[in-house]
């Protein structure tokens, strides 16, 4: 997928409302060097960035607002607004990435035996800004997190395989 279709887009810089519709999008198979930005303008400066993020493995989700001027992605592959179809085979076991609670994973208590550098966060939305984080931590070793039914999502990097406890 090279160009946007309104409900999907690929790598590049796109105008919100013209090239890409506002909404929530998922890159189910981003590369390990995926980087995305929500933009308030196209100046290229740091102050043009509303929110940004990267992936070092696993699916990622972003919410593009109609007030955003643009969205940029590099190394992320294809983005789609199909977020109602689960991408996990089991709603009680998953690996690193960002998942939708109630679609991809069930609410509940999860455990992982994490190597050094595990980062996780419970999310209230997928805007990518700091206000979207309900709780987070950097951990090593046995880690237990309770994902609430009210959480929009859960995200982790360098943690490994989570299992419902």
DSSP 6: B
pLDDT digits (tens, 9 = 90+) for 76-134: 999 999 999 999 999 999 999 999 999 999 999 999 999 878 999 999 999 999 999 99
Name 73's Cβ contacts closer than 8 Å, sequence gap at least 6.
9, 10, 11, 12, 27, 34, 35, 36, 37, 79
Residue 57: predicted pLDDT? 79
Q: Choose the weakest-confidence range: 1-5, 19-23, 132-136.
A: 1-5
Name 18's Cβ contacts closer than 8 Å, sequence gap at least 6.
none
Residue 7: predicted pLDDT? 85
DSSP 56: S
Residue 93: predicted pLDDT? 97
Tell which wins on pLDDT, 4 or 12: 12
Residue 32: predicted pLDDT? 85
- pLDDT-derived band of residue 31, with 50, 70 and 90 as boundaries? confident
Residue 81: predicted pLDDT? 95
Name 27's Cβ contacts closer than 8 Å, sequence gap at least 6.
34, 36, 55, 59, 60, 61, 73, 76, 77, 78, 79
pLDDT digits (tens, 9 = 90+) for 36-82: 999 999 999 999 999 999 988 799 999 999 999 999 999 999 999 99
């Amino acid at each position: 997928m090279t160009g946007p279709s309104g409900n999907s887009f690929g790598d590049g810089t796109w105008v919100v409302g013209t090239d890409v519709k506002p909404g929530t999008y998922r890159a189910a198979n981003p590369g390990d060097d995926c980087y995305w930005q929500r933009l308030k303008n196209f100046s290229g400066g740091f102050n043009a960035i509303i929110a940004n993020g990267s992936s070092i493995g696993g699916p990622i989700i972003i919410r593009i607002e109609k007030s955003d001027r643009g969205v940029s992605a590099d190394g992320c592959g294809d983005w789609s607004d199909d977020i109602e179809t689960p991408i996990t085979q089991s709603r009680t076991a998953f690996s690193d990435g960002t998942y939708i609670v109630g679609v991809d994973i069930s609410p509940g208590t999860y455990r992982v035996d994490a190597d050094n550098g595990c980062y996780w966060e419970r999310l209230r939305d997928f805007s990518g800004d700091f206000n979207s984080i309900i709780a987070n931590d950097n951990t090593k070793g046995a880690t237990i997190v309770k994902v609430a039914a009210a959480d929009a999502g859960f995200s982790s990097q360098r943690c490994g395989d989570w299992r419902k406890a």
